[in-house]
Amino acid sequence: MPDGSAGCDSKRIAFEAVSSAFGSLGRVCLALNAAFEIAHVSPRMEALLGPGVAARYRGRPVEELLGPDLLGPSSAMRAALEAGERREGWRAWLRTEPAGSRLVSVSAAPLDHVSDACDPDARYLLVLRAAEEDPGAGGAAPTSFSGVIARSQAMVGVMHLLENLQHSDVSVLITGESGVGKGVVAHALHASSSRRARPFVAVNCAALPDTLLESELFGHVRGAFTGAVRDRVGRFELAHGGTIFLDEIGDIPLHLQAKLLRVIQERTFERVGDSRTIKSDVRIVAATHRDLHRGVAEGRFREDLYYRLRVFPIEIPPLRERPEDIEPLARHLLARVGARSGRALRFSPCALRVLLAHPWPGNVRELENAIEYAATVALGQTLQPEDLPPDLAGPRDLAHAGATAAALPASDQGEPAPRAPASTTAPATPPSTSRSPRRPPPRAELLDALTNYRWHMTKTACHFGVSRTTLWRWLRAEGISC
């Protein structure tokens, strides 16, 4: 009879042999089971994150260590691993007590059970190393920080600012166009701060009329105004010990700006209709898509409040200025949409190129809506260009997309990167940018493109921003045979 405990021991020893081999290369290994719980942790973890860490996380869901964005149930990396793919060089901030946070580079792959020496419960292997020891991965690899996903230098810079703010209580003003991710950055600021165990209370200052906004922020007592039939606690009191997020601060009326200034300066306020002063221990984070500096110049925004709020300004660039973020964001948002509906969704390479080509005037929110739309329309698991909203990029823009897509990690490209032809080989008739993806181009245009791509169906289909099935249908309708 085989001795079960001896078997277990030998599997543990097998993992230790693997992890010590990786350890001598300066890497930390983790093995995860099918439920993404940590089955084995290499002892080197302690060198990276401090004593006691390996024991603390053994048996725990991996997202407790690496965060839900990277490996939580609706993360892009988990979806890739479940689909049998590997991902390399992602970056994440690990929070360690009391040492603070540490940026690590994470590679992950499903385990091939080529022999039974390995624990059969171990399904996935993760290899971590300190990010500073892996400078090569930084350029192409996405980074995650408390819900914020990015690859661009500009956004990784924002993550570094958030990291610097972890032990500070200064007021922060987040600016940027609508939909760039101001809300998600505000939340990350709270989630990575020492106030994270206390409430995060968001107030949209543009959503309420002036009269209601005051009582929403500061509360009121019974009889303070018509309709105030009982006492009400305001958002500042609810946020006590935590963070208040004043979204669309540019829309706050002048008389409330004075009251807000007092909260910031004196840390006190009164409920509407009350004379008792309440002490406030709240970190203030504000956001706006408006130009507050202009608001000050035009007398719509108090200058003293402006400078009090922007002690630490964070500017989030529009998505069109950081196209490197489109692909990791798209995958992240698709994994999130898929997890909600219990579907394992992926992009066809052509669909991804259409996303990369679009200028995204509505920023990440527009990208999110497009993905939501495509996931609703798509019949199968793979999202095709035809599933995307018809107003997305036309084929002419795919020349740009081809260039951007060439920067994608090779493992993320399901088929050879189709590139639009160089100008010397481009079809004589440039395709229209306002086409519906389902409308066939003129026969001459089809033939031009086929010739330029040497009758390569995938490349030609990508050029038109459609799937190969649609291209075949167009060719059949035109009587063109290959």
Ligand X SMILES: Nc1ncnc2c1ncn2[C@@H]1O[C@H](COP(=O)(O)OP(=O)(O)OP(=O)(O)O)[C@@H](O)[C@H]1O
Interface residues toward ligand X, by CB under 6 A? 148-150, 176, 178-184, 289, 329, 332, 364-365, 368
Pick between residue 186 and residue 355 the one whose CB is nearest to Mg ion.
Answer: 186
Angle, in degrees to the nearest 10, between helices 182-191 and 153-164:
40
Q: Report the residue count for the chain.
A: 482
Pick between residue 154 and residue 184 the one whose CB is nearest to Mg ion.
Answer: 184
Neighbouring-strand partners of residue 47: none
Return residues touching Mg ion (CB under 5 A).
183
Which option in Mg ion, ligand X, none does residue 400 bind, with CB closer than 5 to 8 A by kind? none
Minimum distance of ligand X from residue 343's CB (angstroms): 19
**Structure tokens given for 384:** 């095709």
Minimum distance of ligand X from residue 41's CB (angstroms): 28
Spatial distance between the Cα atoms of 108 and 406, rounded to a whole number of angstroms: 22
Residue found by looking up tokens 């509906």 in the block: 341
CA 406-407-409 angle, 5° bins: 105
Minimum distance of ligand X from residue 69's CB (angstroms): 7
Minimum distance of ligand X from residue 224's CB (angstroms): 30
Pick between residue 19 and residue 144 the one whose CB is nearest to ligand X.
Answer: 144
DSSP 103: E
| E-only strand ranges, 59-168 | 87-96, 100-110, 124-130, 143-145, 148-150
Amino acid at 399: A
Instruction: Name the helix (H) or strand (E) containing 320.
Output: none
Question: What one-character-per-residue DSSP string does 345-388 give?
Answer: -EE-HHHHHHHHH---TTHHHHHHHHHHHHHHH-SSSEEPGGGS
Pick between residue 150 and residue 398 the one whose CB is nearest to ligand X.
Answer: 150
Which option in ligand X, Mg ion, none does residue 216 bind, with CB closer than 5 to 8 A by kind? none
Minimum distance of ligand X from residue 196's CB (angstroms): 18
- Whether the CB-CB separation of 40 and 121 falls below 8 Å is answered with no
Give the residue from 44, 20, 16, 41 showing the smallest Cα distance to 31.
41
Minimum distance of ligand X from residue 161's CB (angstroms): 14
- Whether the CB-CB separation of 192 and 162 falls below 8 Å is answered with yes
Minimum distance of ligand X from residue 235's CB (angstroms): 17
Pick between residue 316 and residue 446 the one whose CB is nearest to Mg ion.
Answer: 316
* Distance (Å) of CA 452 to CA 23, 403, 419, 426, 434: 50, 17, 11, 7, 22
Pick between residue 75 and residue 467 the one whose CB is nearest to ligand X.
Answer: 75
Minimum distance of ligand X from residue 184's CB (angstroms): 4
Pick between residue 23 and residue 183 the one whose CB is nearest to Mg ion.
Answer: 183
* Radius of gyration, alpha carbons of the chain: 27
Pick between residue 31 and residue 191 the one whose CB is nearest to Mg ion.
Answer: 191
Q: Which residue is nearest to Mg ion (CB)?
A: 183
Spatial distance between the Cα atoms of 268 and 261, rounded to a whole number of angstroms: 10
- Whether the CB-CB separation of 28 and 22 falls below 8 Å is answered with yes
- Whether the CB-CB separation of 33 and 122 falls below 8 Å is answered with yes
Which option in Mg ion, ligand X, none does residue 150 bind, with CB closer than 5 to 8 A by kind? ligand X
Pick between residue 19 and residue 288 the one whose CB is nearest to Mg ion.
Answer: 288
Minimum distance of ligand X from residue 163's CB (angstroms): 15
Pick between residue 61 and residue 183 the one whose CB is nearest to Mg ion.
Answer: 183
Which option in Mg ion, ligand X, none does residue 271 bind, with CB closer than 5 to 8 A by kind? none
Minimum distance of ligand X from residue 95's CB (angstroms): 18
**Structure tokens given for 98:** 């009391």
Spatial distance between the Cα atoms of 324 and 163, rounded to a whole number of angstroms: 22
